[in-house]
Amino acid sequence: MTALDETAIGGLGASRRRVEDARFVRGRGHYVDDIHLPGMLHMEILRSPLAHARIVSIDTSKAWEIPGVRLVLTGEMMAQRNLAWMPTLSYDTQAVLATDKVRFQGQEVCVVVADDPYIAKDGCEAIVVEYEALPAIVNPEQAAAPDAPVIRDDKEGQTDNTCYRWEVGDAAATERAFAQADVVSSLKLHYPRSHPSPIECCGSIADYDAGTGKLTVYMTTQAPHIIRAAVALVAELPEHMIRIVSPDIGGGFGNKVPIYPGYVAGILASILLGKPVKWIEDKSGNLSSTGFGRDMYLDAQMALRSDGKILAVRMHAVTDQGAFFADAQPSKFKVGLLHSAFACYDVPVGLITAEGQYTNKAPGGVAYRCSFRVTEAMFFQERMVAAAAADLGIDAAEIRRRNLLTDDRFPHRTAFGFLVDSGQYHKCLDLGLDAIGYEEFKRDQVAARERGRLLGIGISTMTEPLGAGNSREYDILGIKMFDSAELRVHMTGKAILRTGAKTQGQGHETTWAQIVSHELGIPADDVIVEEGDTDTAPFGMGTYASRSTPVAGAAVAMVARKVRAKARKLAAHLLEVSEEDVEWELGRFYVRGAPERGATIQECAAAAYSNMPDGMEPGLENNAYYDPPNLTWPFAVYIVTVEVDPETGVWDVLRVVAVDDCGVRINPMIVEGQIMGGLTEAYAMANMQFQTYDADGNQVGSNYMDYLLPTAWETPGFELHEVVTPCPHHPIGAKGVGECAAVGGPAAFVNAVHDALASTGVRNIDMPVLPDRVWQALQDGRDVSGAPPVRSDS
Ligand code: MCN
Ligand code: CUM
């Protein structure tokens, strides 16, 4: 017997087919809405039609009269139980059901619980709410105006609409660097609101058992343990009597991290009625009230030497937070990890200032496929670099070559305090340029222009901090950010692995088993992976910010190593040698000097239950908590070519080349799937997804006729390339990847369109770069802003 073939058993590096797809592609997934409990009732939410209004009165009497209606809850009834407001993940408060005012269109005002969802909807329609309309604020500039109405007049001491101010960097050193600059390049832009819009909307079933006092909530959450802690604190229930179960999730993309009013109202309704209460959000509810990303304004300058060397950056960001500051982000950082901007470049000094404003819009700023505002950071960075190249008349690839960190610079401390672990940036860039045929395209572009055709090429190079914590710096609501895994090997060598993460489609059931396989030589098919049930899974902070591989994945490797250490003792016992004389190869221990004498991991497992040495604790299982020493820093190069039609402003994507370095790839096929998905979302944000507001605060884009999701028809093809720089501090050398393409992709598309318009003097067209905006820019030779309010007739 010799070591196993790792690829054959589905270990590290195997493009193993996704085990979850056996049920997903055959319609056998088990989502919240598939769960039917005996006696279950249904809840619907009445939402505000107005963006900003005082509530004069609420008359629910007609709803109570409808047969089948069991409960109508208003904000006032919630207030009697101290539940009208709930804490957010950013130390703010959010209305569960409105009491005093409504603060955005779509805000939750009442809920109705009934025998079926249709009766509940009828109940909502029978409620009469009298509103006294107030002026609506739909952008931070209006919010900051001296005479602006105070949106959050519920908050003691809040006299304006400012929600936070934050700053990082060295102001004095930045000033000095700007004074030395040959050229200062400026850019102003708006990263619009966008919405994760997962296929499955949010929902929950709260099931309070009055007999045992136990509350079980089945729900669509990416972070079950955080929800359990929050429910314990908000509802004042004992934590061990709360069980949160997150079954299959139909996509999360950050939308399922926050705590939504529907969950809270559903829990109270179940406690009051003593029955299970199901709430399943509809599409327009999801698109209008939950988890928006971005909505950030940038005003930036870059100090440059004439040869293209970046001397300093200054960025001022203003975030439109909507009515409640509900971002999920580490508590120290008020704009997430925006200060990861320029981490891949050699930028000696910089200053970032930021402020948030409350507006009459749904709570925004929640992460959408971005590790806490990193999407904005990288978009701003790459748009600024492109603008600087244009200002200096330097080629866009060349300016990156002159500023990207070289391999000998790692680990690199950035101007804003991060420690970037590793990378081969120049190799990635060269590979990408080569793949797209950069020089040749540039020549073609000139020739095409002479014939009146507008071709453009856009580059985006970026690194991303993935895998929060470490626990020294990262916490959410005071809970330190780490993760865990628990591994139990059964007598026959089969195993169950549980982690504190929660897959939403990323494929953890497939990939975690591969890590176990790599560490223990147990075939991946013999390892079942379970996540999402707080009664059985070990504590963890959940899946977002592409932290699962960096943190939970590391915990999987660590727990497998603990199990292997015990298996070694069992092997020594079976082989009748001392432990020091036992060697390991994949799947098997053997005697040093006598490799034919060995014990497989399965034989060790059997011995753990049937033949352990005297005095040894039986069983073969363990757990591991992993507190990462640093974030992991993947790197990517995205290059896009486009052709813009000067007559219509329509732009077509010609080619998309991606080079991703996410360290060691556990499952290359899954990694490629993640990159393709991310690029699709990047393209959608750049090209078509439009969520905005008119001057009255009416939402434009709360349905899929207006908010366009790309289908296979619109989505361009992607050409993927790989570089591997193992992460120096991760047990298997892996870095996160789940968000890279969505983070770095948008700038590549947008830079490409701007490159095509290079001769027109247009510096910026805001995303989505809609054809009418491009056309307008071409007509006027001027920038086009996409910031709200929009004309309501457009
Ligand atoms: N992986 C790998 N090798 C690596 C890195 C990752 O094989 N070096 C695999 C992982 O094992 C995992 C997948 O790739 O199966 C993504 O891993 P990771 O980068 O750790 O990201 P997470 O698992 O933490 O997923 C979160 C990330 C986020 S934050 C969003 S948003 C997003 C994304 O994943 N939402 C998704 N991708 C998604 N994909 C689907 N299908 N659905 C979502 O909701
Ligand atoms: Cu940034 S969206 Mo993901 O973190 O769930």
* pLDDT, tens digit, 9 for 90 and up, residues 767-792: 999 999 999 999 999 999 999 997 65
**What is the helix, strand, coil percentage profile of the chain, to 5?**
30, 25, 40
Cβ proximity of 489 and 620 under 8 Å? yes
Percent of the chain's residues with pLDDT above 90: 93
* Token duo for residue 433: 């340029």
Report whether residue 203 contacts ligand 1, using a CB cutoff of 6 Å.
no
| Residue 625 pLDDT | 97
The rounded distance, in Å, linking the Cα atoms of 782 and 794 is: 20
Please give the C-alpha separations between residue 205 and each of 32, 217, 536, in angstroms, as whole numbers. 7, 6, 19
Nearest CA to ligand 1 atom 14: 671
Report whether residue 222 contacts ligand 2, using a CB cutoff of 6 Å.
yes
| Contacts for 40 with CB less than 8 Å, ≥ 6 apart | 205, 275, 276, 277, 278
| pLDDT-based confidence at residue 233 (cuts at 50, 70, 90) | confident
The rounded distance, in Å, linking the Cα atoms of 494 and 509 is: 15
Report whether residue 680 contacts ligand 1, using a CB cutoff of 6 Å.
no
Looking at 327-331, 381-385, 493-497, 651-655, which range is the least confident one?
327-331
- Report field, pTM of the whole predicted structure over 0.95: yes
Distance from residue 737's CA to the centre of ligand 1 (Å): 6
Percent of the chain's residues with pLDDT above 70: 99
Q: Mean pLDDT throughout 122-143?
A: 98
Q: Mean pLDDT throughout 453-474?
A: 94
Q: Mean pLDDT throughout 21-27?
A: 96
Which residues on adjacent β-strands are paired with residue 496? Answer: 488, 528
Residue 1 has pLDDT above 60, yes or no: no
* Token duo for residue 100: 């005093």
- Comparing C-alpha atoms, which of 788, 575, 768 is closest to residue 685? 768
Cβ proximity of 350 and 315 under 8 Å? yes
Residue 794 has pLDDT above 70, yes or no: no
Please give the C-alpha separations between residue 285 and each of 48, 150, 278, 288, in angstroms, as whole numbers. 11, 26, 15, 5
Report whether residue 665 contacts ligand 1, using a CB cutoff of 6 Å.
yes
The rounded distance, in Å, linking the Cα atoms of 187 and 25 is: 45
H-assigned helices in 576-638: 601-610
For residue 240, the one-letter residue type is H
Give the number of whichever ligand sits closest to the CA of residue 467. Answer: 1
Distance from residue 411's CA to the centre of ligand 1 (Å): 25
| pLDDT-based confidence at residue 234 (cuts at 50, 70, 90) | confident
| Per-residue pLDDT tens over the stretch 508-538 | 999 999 999 999 999 999 999 999 999 999 9
Report whether residue 403 contacts ligand 2, using a CB cutoff of 6 Å.
no
Distance from residue 547's CA to the centre of ligand 1 (Å): 8
Report whether residue 663 contacts ligand 1, using a CB cutoff of 6 Å.
yes
| Cα–Cα–Cα angle for 280, 368, 21, rounded to 5 degrees | 65
Distance from residue 506's CA to the centre of ligand 1 (Å): 5
Q: Compute the mean pLDDT over every residue in the chain, rounded to the nearest whole number.
A: 96
Give the number of whichever ligand sits closest to the CA of residue 254. Answer: 2
Report whether residue 546 contacts ligand 1, using a CB cutoff of 6 Å.
yes
Q: Mean pLDDT throughout 654-659?
A: 98
The rounded distance, in Å, linking the Cα atoms of 733 and 726 is: 4
| Per-residue pLDDT tens over the stretch 299-320 | 999 999 999 999 999 999 999 9
Report whether residue 251 contacts ligand 1, using a CB cutoff of 6 Å.
yes
The rounded distance, in Å, linking the Cα atoms of 754 and 229 is: 47
Which residues on adjacent β-strands are paired with residue 451? Answer: none
| Residue 723 pLDDT | 98
Give the number of whichever ligand sits closest to the CA of residue 543. Answer: 1
Give the number of whichever ligand sits closest to the CA of residue 507. Answer: 1
Distance from residue 674's CA to the centre of ligand 1 (Å): 6
Distance from residue 675's CA to the centre of ligand 1 (Å): 9
Q: Which atom of ligand 1 is nearest to the CA of 634?
A: 8
Ligand 1 pocket: which of 19, 546, 626, 672 to mutate (most atoms within 8 A of CB): 546
Looking at 159-168, 226-235, 394-403, which range is the least confident one?
226-235
Cβ proximity of 468 and 330 under 8 Å? yes
The rounded distance, in Å, linking the Cα atoms of 650 and 654 is: 13
| pLDDT-based confidence at residue 793 (cuts at 50, 70, 90) | low
| Cα–Cα–Cα angle for 154, 155, 158, rounded to 5 degrees | 120
Nearest CA to ligand 1 atom 4: 665
* Token duo for residue 789: 């309010």
Report whether residue 545 contacts ligand 2, using a CB cutoff of 6 Å.
yes
Report whether residue 542 contacts ligand 2, using a CB cutoff of 6 Å.
no
Cβ proximity of 62 and 124 under 8 Å? no
| Per-residue pLDDT tens over the stretch 74-109 | 999 999 999 999 999 899 999 999 999 999 999 999
For residue 122, the one-letter residue type is D
SS (H, E, C) 256-318: CCCCCHHHHHHHHHHHHHCCCEEEECCHHHHHHHCCCEEEEEEEEEEEECCCCCEEEEEEEEE
Give the number of whichever ligand sits closest to the CA of residue 466. Answer: 1
Report whether residue 589 contacts ligand 1, using a CB cutoff of 6 Å.
no
Q: Dihedral angle at the C-alpha atoms of 53, 55, 57, 61, nearest 10 degrees?
A: 90
Q: Mean pLDDT throughout 674-699?
A: 96
* Token duo for residue 444: 């073609």
Report whether residue 292 contacts ligand 2, using a CB cutoff of 6 Å.
no
Ligand 2 pocket: which of 202, 292, 370 to mutate (most atoms within 8 A of CB): 370
Distance from residue 738's CA to the centre of ligand 1 (Å): 4
| Number of C-beta neighbours around residue 201 at 10 A | 23
Distance from residue 184's CA to the centre of ligand 1 (Å): 39
Distance from residue 739's CA to the centre of ligand 2 (Å): 7
- In the sheet with 582-585, reading across from the earlier edge strand, the strands are 582-585, 588-591, 594-600
Residue 16 has pLDDT above 90, yes or no: yes
Report whether residue 369 contacts ligand 1, using a CB cutoff of 6 Å.
yes
Residue 347 has pLDDT above 60, yes or no: yes
Biggest CA–CA distance in the chain, Å, is 87
Report whether residue 666 contacts ligand 1, using a CB cutoff of 6 Å.
yes
Q: Mean pLDDT throughout 181-186?
A: 98
Q: Which atom of ligand 1 is nearest to the CA of 512?
A: 11
Q: Which residues are catalytic?
A: 222, 369-370, 739
| Number of C-beta neighbours around residue 236 at 10 A | 10
Q: Which atom of ligand 2 is nearest to the CA of 222?
A: 5
| Contacts for 71 with CB less than 8 Å, ≥ 6 apart | 111, 112, 113, 269, 272, 273
The residue behind tokens 């004074």 is 179
Ligand 1 pocket: which of 671, 674, 732 to mutate (most atoms within 8 A of CB): 674
Q: Mean pLDDT throughout 227-254?
A: 93
Distance from residue 97's CA to the centre of ligand 1 (Å): 34
